[in-house]
Amino acid sequence: MTRLGAILAGGKSSRFGSDKAEAMLDGRPLVEHVFAGLRNQCDEIVLCGREREGMTSLPDRPGPDQGPLGGLNAALHHAAERGHDEVLSAACDNAGLPADLADQLSPPPAYADGQPVIGLWPAHLAPLLDDWMARQDNRAMMGWIDACGARSVRLKEKPANINQPEDLTELEDRHGL
């Protein structure tokens, strides 16, 4: 079984006020923290919805401004094309991913309770997500979760979900960074 890691980073960071993926935490951009959290759990990692030097990038599918589902859709198709069985997804601001995240979420489809962008998705769902997004302009993550029958999993440790600069400051203070 092979797994693709997908960092979903196509958002506008409007609540954060600047490029969230590149915001610094402990001397490294948030996106690098997420990459490090996925590295030992995935055979390949892609960055969805943006480009960054040194990372394989995928444009959101079917196009930009699709929300997290655009990145997940691109990742599912890439995984299917490359022969991966599943996709482990996280947002670019989900620093502190558990080292056993994929194990906690297995079997797919499953997502982290309260953080639906963090999930484990079978690659064979790619055409289903295409069809679902094409109907009535569906972009809601929870709607997709219901449509594909994903189950909610309460993780042992909750990863960061940084939406505002204050969230980043609080995380740094809490961990002494």
Which CATH number characterizes residue 36's domain?
3.90.550.10
Confidence band for 167, pLDDT divided at 50, 70 and 90: confident
Residue 129 labelled as part of a binding site: no
Provide the domain count of the chain: 1
| DSSP E strands, the chain | 3-8, 24-25, 28-29, 44-48, 56-58, 86-91, 110-112, 115-122, 151-153
Higher pLDDT, 106 or 175: 106
Residue 131 labelled as part of a binding site: no
Residue 176 labelled as part of a binding site: no
Structural domain span for residue 111: 3-175
pTM assigned to the model: 0.93
What value does the mean pLDDT take over residues 90-100? 95
Phi, psi of 26 (to 5 degrees): 55, 40
pLDDT of residue 18: 63
Written as six digits, the tokens of 101 are 């995240």
Residue 10 labelled as part of a binding site: yes
- Residue closest to 100 by CA, chosen among 42, 31, 33: 42
Residues 17-31: pLDDT tens digits? 667 888 888 899 999
pLDDT of residue 16: 59
Q: How many C-beta neighbours within 10 Å does residue 130 have? A: 14
